[in-house]
Amino acid sequence: MGLAAVAMTAPAVALVGLEHEYQLRRDGQAVDFRDLIHGLAVPGRRLDPGDTNAYRCPSGMALTCDEAEAEVASPPLALAPGFTAQVDAWAHAGRRLLGDLLPADVALLGFSSHLSVAVADRDADRVLAVLAGSFGPALMMVLDRAGSHGVFLRPRPSRMELCGEYAIGARLQAAAALFAGAVRAAAGGGPVPPALAITPHPAGGRVGLELDRHLAFGFDLYRDGRAATLPAAGGGTIDGQRHLELSWGCARAALAGNAGPEDLEAMDRIVAGTSPLGIEAAENDVGSGTEIASTPFGDLLVARRRGDVEVAPFLATWGFTVFSVRGTGGSRYACIPRASLAAFLDRLDAGGLDGWLAAAPSSGRILAGAGQTGRPGLWDAVGDPTDLLPPERTPSQPATSRGARHGKPLVPPASAPAAALPEPVRRPRGPVALLIAVVLTVLLVGAAFASGLFGAGGEDPVPTAAEAPVASTTTAPVTTTTSTTLAATTSAPAVTVPQPAPTVVAPATTAPTVAPSPTTTATAPTTTLAPVTTTTTAVPGPVTLTVGLGCTLSPASSSRPVGSAVRVANQSGGEIGVTVTGPPGSSGARFSLDAGGTSAAYVLDPAGDYAFRCVAGGAAGQAVLRAT
């Protein structure tokens, strides 16, 4: 039966995933991880055609660079009871991996969190609109910190991504539960909180929406928190605490069957006020995390020999793996989608594919497109590997480009044998292929990830893709643990994003639609500082923007030649958040700086006005530099 039997054994699962980015410092100065990663003893292999810096490790974790930051990604995890503890366990494992690899004099600072939940592409616009219009403030207040500037919501292939402040421990678990439940509520048409009159903006770096703490409602949401007075789209207001209760009540109901009591505890405590919101917490919760289990995404690294046939990984993404099958009759390639990977490896190791591997005839077929990777298949050749990646898309529009992330050249495994790797500890997996001890199924990783580690295209990687449709939630009025009845709306708010400032509105009887402004399809700012590039044209040395008390920036305005570099020095006495926006064609940036810290250099290119905006607590300030 060959691969057909493998395909039939793959059950459907919903997925959730995490990616963390870290800044590196040596003697107080920023260190570019791209200068370090390929000199480290990384226990893994570079197999991802969408990200040639990325290493797949024996645990199944992925390690790569997002511009200057180090990036660690879990494989997509089953959205099943115990999932929040597993998300946190992978977060701790990633931090330990980086800590063990880095030189002793390089410090590791948490930079950002990216959570993803499976969403069918056809539902992406509606889910984005509901998340922003009905759940936005709750997501912001739980994930972000007091010094953060806001969050991003981004539709990615087969998933929805939430990008915000670095979180680990209980706060990460609470954010994962709230976001997963909110996505399922928005996708399933179940109860959602009343829509708010919120003003999102096009997200920098990728298509999506930015919910800024100052601009979303015209006041500082993080200053007011639970006491904030939020304007409802249909008129009237609702306070921040009530919005939090409604949001969690609807998300909690939507998680029924996908979460256990332990997954709800962290968010229950936040809503009850016995644990602080992220914006109320004095410092990051750390904890130690639980143990992670082996996954097929690590197991695939080991070459298998079955008689005269060797099966070894050739390409690996979160959505599919291509194995080279070498025997006396030549080489062929087996493409195995995520959902069938565990079953394929189990049957291969048990000898169930031996006869088929030795006898399968040549077909002359070439694996050449993303549409061919969704089912197990055997191919005689592989075309351009980047053509196999699912294309990125924009809301309400078809996919436009693959946008693979490029780095150090990737040597194809066919011409460079794999380095010796520790043999993964393969724990028994049952017929349904369990991934994580307790109930997490191993059939993880979404087609969404195939578009580059957690997000092909160059930044913000994050796993997860829809393996199965999101179940519809029909629960009527929802109650919190304090037995407060929630008056949730059962129809999704409609969101329109007019030019130039997108505004969410909410007619109660229409399904949400997103009308993105033209700027959402233009080249957008990235979320990390661009390193200084060396050119043959002499330009002045870096200029330093100094941030003082109250987020005052000096100089407040200046003109500099195109190609000049700018650094931001924080002398305010506390942590600050900085956002850089520039003219069309420029790269933007978003980062935080501890007291006394200095940022990496940002290059003013092309010509135009660049706004450097600082936010700290209730204070905000801005400087404008003109590149001429």
In the predicted model, what is the mean pLDDT of residues 334-348? 94
Which residues lie closer than 8 Å to 361 by C-beta, 6 or more apart? none
114 neighbors 454 (Cβ within 8 angstroms): yes
Instruction: Return the H-helix or E-strand segment holding 552.
Output: strand 552-554
Instruction: Return the H-helix or E-strand segment holding 26.
Output: strand 15-26
Confidence band of 432 (pLDDT split at 50, 70, 90): very low
What's the confidence (pLDDT) of residue 453? 30
In sequence order, the β-bridge partners of residue 503 are 496
CA dihedral 609, 614, 619, 621 (to 10 degrees): -20
Burial of 339 (0-12, 13-18, 19+ CB in 10 A): buried
Instruction: For the chain, state the CA radius of gyration.
Output: 24
Q: Collapsing DSSP states into helix, strand and coil, what is residue 338?
A: helix
Closest of 94, 89, 92, 19 to residue 51, by C-alpha:
19
Q: Does residue 530 surpass a pLDDT of 50?
A: no
Count CA within 13 A, CB hemisphere, residue 332.
Answer: 20
Q: Which of the pair, 307 or 225, is modelled with greater confidence?
A: 225
What phi and psi, each to the nearest 5 degrees, are found at residue 46?
A: -90, 105
In the predicted model, what is the mean pLDDT of residues 210-238? 96
Alpha-carbon 201 to chain mean position:
19
Q: Does residue 64 surpass a pLDDT of 90?
A: yes
In sequence order, the β-bridge partners of residue 335 are 322, 377
40: left (phi over 0), alpha (psi -120 to 50) or beta: beta
Closest of 465, 186, 210, 182 to residue 320, by C-alpha:
465
DSSP characters over 174-210? HHHHHHHHHHHHHHHT--BPPPB----EEPSSSSSEE
Q: Does residue 509 surpass a pLDDT of 80?
A: no
500 neighbors 517 (Cβ within 8 angstroms): yes
Instruction: Return the H-helix or E-strand segment holding 315.
Output: strand 309-316
Alpha-carbon 182 to chain mean position:
16
Q: What angle, 0 to 180 degrees and rounded to 10, lies between the N-to-C axes of helices 240-254 and 261-272?
A: 170
Count CA within 13 A, CB hemisphere, residue 257.
Answer: 10
Amino acid at site 471: A
Q: Does residue 501 surpass a pLDDT of 90?
A: no
> Which range among 49-63, 268-282, 358-372, 520-534 shows the weakest confidence by mean pLDDT?
520-534
| Mean per-residue pLDDT over the chain, rounded | 78
Q: Give the whole-angstrom CA distance, residue 555 versus residue 544.
A: 9
In sequence order, the β-bridge partners of residue 610 are 625
Burial of 229 (0-12, 13-18, 19+ CB in 10 A): exposed
Burial of 241 (0-12, 13-18, 19+ CB in 10 A): middle
What's the confidence (pLDDT) of residue 242? 98
Burial of 340 (0-12, 13-18, 19+ CB in 10 A): buried
Q: Collapsing DSSP states into helix, strand and coil, what is residue 510?
A: coil
Q: Give the whole-angstrom CA distance, residue 334 versus residue 355.
A: 15
55 neighbors 42 (Cβ within 8 angstroms): yes
Q: Within a 10 A sphere around the Cβ of 406, how many other Cβ atoms?
A: 14
SS (H, E, C) 343-385: HHHHHHHCCCCHHHHHHCCCCCCEECCHHHCCCCEEECEECCH
Proportion of the chain above pLDDT 70, given as a percent: 72
434: tokens are: 């369990």
What's the confidence (pLDDT) of residue 583? 83
What phi and psi, each to the nearest 5 degrees, are found at residue 577?
A: -115, 140
pTM: 0.69
Q: Does residue 28 surpass a pLDDT of 80?
A: yes
Q: What is the CATH number of domain 543-627?
A: 2.60.40.420
Proportion of the chain above pLDDT 90, given as a percent: 52
Q: Does residue 438 surpass a pLDDT of 80?
A: no
What's the confidence (pLDDT) of residue 581? 84
* pLDDT tens per residue across span 139-183: 999 999 999 999 999 999 889 999 999 999 999 999 999 999 999
Q: Does residue 130 surpass a pLDDT of 50?
A: yes
Four-residue CA torsion sign, 96, 102, 107, 108: negative
**Please, where in the chain does CATH 2.60.40.420 lie?**
543-627
